[in-house]
Amino acid sequence: MKKLTHALGITTLSLAATGAAHAADDVTLQLKWVTQAQFAGYYVAQDQGFYGEEDLNVTIKPGGPDIAPAQVIAGGGADVVVDWMPSAMASREKGLDLVNIAQPFKSSGMMLTCRKDTGVASPEDFPGKTLGVWFSGNEYPFLSWMSKLGLATDGSEGGVTVLKQGFNVDPLLQGQAACISTMNYNEYGQVLDAGLTPEELVVFKYEDQGVATLEDGLYVLGENLEDPEFVDKMARFVRASMKGWKWAEENPEEAALIVLDNDASGAQTEDHQIFMMKGVSELTAGSDGTLDPADFQRTIDSLLSGGSDPVITKDPGDDAWTHAITDKALN
């Protein structure tokens, strides 16, 4: 009996050791905003088991108006964050070593949506108008654009008045602003849902204006990239996440439903999430997650063109991004 017990003990220990060797690696992802189809690829990767296939146990933390991804990762609350490059580079210049490891969004969805009845037909009509702008790091592309146009943003004569816009479309509907910030996959749909028609609107896409900056990249702390195990874990995370994004592109309605299943707030609706997913698919199309250095440089050049008040004051250089993760993920 003693021998059997001893043998069973060895077997149990062996099984435990084997289980420990194959335990999934924990990854905490901090989103830039609340649970919605903007982040569908990550929820799909979790739902479809893509993270599990890579031996990852991923926790997805929703964001919100009072949550700054840079602050979360600086405080140790996340391994990787979703952020827009303007805010990430601004944080980097202030001393936080954020590094872009992947770029799922190839193009920008940011737009300025205006009512035609306010007299806005082109950017030449902006002077004297009130424009709604998101802050908390989202104002940087707008400020760069206004600088390019030579328009002051302090309400002085010949410039524009900036209205600090909430994350809604009320200023446009209530006549508080001639134009408001919108994303192609979100607030633009809310404007249409409120009863305005495309014929009553004029839309300026940041991409078309030559001032688009990169959105929704994946960022980590540079010091962690010195750890081979962390690099391997992030490569598996990016590989599974991009698999999730491609699945979402091909199955937008199913992806929207997966997002809804993860919306603990119950605030999202099926119709809007499907609309959003289709819009987001336009932005992730053509991306395998690899950052295009030309897109990075275009963003940096735009951020540096802020006149006397640029978003950043110096080019962060190649240290601000790496292909180490995507190269490992894709090969």
Q: List, for residues 191-205, the tens digit of each pLDDT value.
A: 999 999 999 999 999
- Mean pLDDT confidence for 53-80: 96
Segments making up each domain of the chain, as ranges: 24-107+214-330, 110-205
Instruction: Answer yes or no: is pLDDT of 9 > 50.
Output: no
Which of 248, 247, 264 lies closest to 256, judged by CA?
Answer: 248
Percent above pLDDT 70 for the chain: 92
Question: Which of 59-73, 89-103, 136-150, 239-253 bottoms out in mean pLDDT, i.e. has the lowest?
Answer: 136-150
Instruction: Answer yes or no: is pLDDT of 96 > 60.
Output: yes
Mean confidence (pLDDT) of the chain = 91
Which of 260, 280, 279 lies closest to 270, judged by CA?
Answer: 260
- Give me the pLDDT at residue 187, please: 94
Instruction: Answer yes or no: is pLDDT of 32 > 80.
Output: yes
- Mean pLDDT confidence for 245-258: 98
CATH of domain 110-205: 3.40.190.10
Phi, psi (rounded to 5 degrees) for 41: -55, -35
* DSSP per position, 229-286: HHHHHHHHHHHHHHHHHHHHHH-HHHHHHHHHHT-TT----HHHHHHHHHHHHHHHTT
Which CATH number applies to 24-107+214-330: 3.90.1150.10, 3.40.225.10, 3.40.190.10, 3.40.50.9100?
A: 3.40.190.10
Which two tokens mark 288? Answer: 């395998």
Phi, psi (rounded to 5 degrees) for 131: -120, 130
- Give me the pLDDT at residue 94, please: 95
Q: What pLDDT band is residue 11 in, cutting at 50, 70 and 90?
A: very low
Fold equal for 24-107+214-330 and 110-205:
yes
Determine the Cα–Cα distance for residues 24 and 237; give it in Å rounded to an integer. 12
Using alpha carbons only, what angle is made at residue 268 by residues 264 and 272, rounded to the nearest 5 degrees? 155
Instruction: Answer yes or no: is pLDDT of 10 > 60.
Output: no
Determine the Cα–Cα distance for residues 282 and 97; give it in Å rounded to an integer. 30
